[in-house]
């Protein structure tokens, strides 16, 4: 059994809500998961001080953590920086790597960077990340539960509304299925939803979880003014997804919904997960 926390769009900067991040730190300390995954937009405007605040947050997490960049982690207005070193502030203020992967006997979590120099709302997947995905999963143990992380959505779903899927998202999700990936974690939209396996790809694919903004005031749609994250428990035959929402009265994250998805035949590459 493995446990994951899926946070997203933590947006350090003026839109960050300190009480939400303090609550997350407290929950992780009280009940540490095997891994915390943050699916991008660590900052609001890719400023060094915002990256340093994100780094402090990661340092205080009482569990290992991985991350990918989002479009807000590239400077929007600093033209020359954007042109010549779009991830320069990230590397100077946060981490020398853009993506961190995680491997344990129970878990293999691989991230793909969908942000780029001219990123605004739209994500893009580099061809090399698709062709190289299988190679990155070679570090995974035979029994490891395989997870892919990307900031922008890579699977079409009605819940996306007018938001496009990241360019080459279809190719990436197909490659992920070939690699035995059973779960895809994304953010960017600032509202949470699930795309069950039978909708993710014709013939079945990974379960896709979109996380809302966990710690910023930028919630959208049904999560306008709200914050959320996922607690995921991987069992031998199922994936339990709990969505926690911020309660303004109790000033705490509280369980809002629990779904259980059945795992089946990851090795077959078909119908990896079905909703139960």
CA–CA separation, 141 and 272 (whole Å): 18
Q: Which is nearer to Fe ion, 70 or 153 (CB)?
A: 70
What DSSP character marks residue 2?
A: E
Return the residue of 43, 50, 71, 113 that touches Fe ion, per CB under 5 A: 71
Stretch that binds Fe ion, among 64-72, 197-205, 236-244, 255-263 (CB under 5 A): 64-72
Angle value at C-alpha 250, between 249 and 255, nearest 5 degrees = 110
Q: Which is nearer to Fe ion, 41 or 182 (CB)?
A: 41
Dihedral pair phi/psi, residue 221, rounded to 5°? 55, -130
Q: Which is nearer to Fe ion, 20 or 188 (CB)?
A: 188
Residue ranges in 169-208 that form contacts with Fe ion under rule CB under 5 A? 188
Question: Is residue 9 within the footprint of Fe ion (CB under 5 A)?
Answer: yes
SS (H, E, C) 171-235: HHHHHHHHCCCCEEEECCCCCCEEECHHHHCCCCCCEEEECCCCCECCCCHHHCCCCEEEEEEEE
- What pairs with residue 275 in β-bridges? 261
Least distance to Fe ion, CB of residue 177, Å: 24
Angle value at C-alpha 144, between 138 and 145, nearest 5 degrees = 110
Q: Which is nearer to Fe ion, 163 or 171 (CB)?
A: 163
Least distance to Fe ion, CB of residue 70, Å: 4
Question: Is residue 70 within the footprint of Fe ion (CB under 5 A)?
Answer: yes
Q: Which is nearer to Fe ion, 146 or 191 (CB)?
A: 191
Stretch that binds Fe ion, among 37-45, 88-96, 245-253, 255-263 (CB under 5 A): 37-45
Q: Which residues bind Fe ion (CB under 5 A)?
A: 9, 41, 70-71, 188
């Amino acid at each position: 059994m493995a446990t994951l926390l899926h946070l997203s769009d933590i947006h350090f900067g003026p839109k960050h809500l300190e009480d939400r991040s303090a609550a997350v730190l407290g929950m992780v300390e009280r009940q540490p998961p095997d891994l915390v995954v943050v699916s991008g937009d660590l900052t609001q405007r890719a400023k060094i001080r915002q990256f340093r605040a994100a780094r402090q947050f990661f340092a205080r997490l009482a569990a290992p953590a991985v991350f990918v960049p989002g479009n807000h982690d590239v400077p929007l207005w600093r033209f020359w920086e954007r042109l010549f070193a779009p991830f320069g502030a990230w590397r100077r203020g946060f981490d020398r790597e853009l993506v961190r992967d995680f491997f344990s006997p129970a878990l293999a979590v691989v991230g793909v960077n969908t942000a780029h120099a001219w990123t605004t709302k739209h994500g893009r997947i580099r061809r090399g990340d698709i062709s190289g995905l299988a190679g990155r999963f070679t570090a995974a143990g035979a029994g490891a539960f395989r997870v892919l992380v990307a900031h922008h959505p890579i699977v079409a779903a009605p819940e996306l509304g007018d938001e496009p899927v990241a360019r080459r998202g279809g190719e990436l999700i197909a490659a992920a299925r070939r690699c035995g990936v059973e779960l895809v974690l994304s953010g960017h939209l600032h509202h949470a939803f699930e795309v069950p396996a039978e909708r993710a790809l014709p013939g079945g694919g990974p379960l896709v979880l979109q996380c809302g903004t966990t710690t910023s005031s930028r919630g959208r749609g049904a999560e306008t003014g709200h914050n959320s994250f996922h607690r995921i428990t991987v069992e031998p035959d199922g994936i339990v997804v709990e969505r926690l929402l911020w309660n303004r009265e109790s000033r705490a994250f509280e369980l809002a919904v629990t779904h259980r998805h059945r795992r089946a035949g990851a090795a077959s590459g078909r119908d990896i997960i079905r909703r139960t």
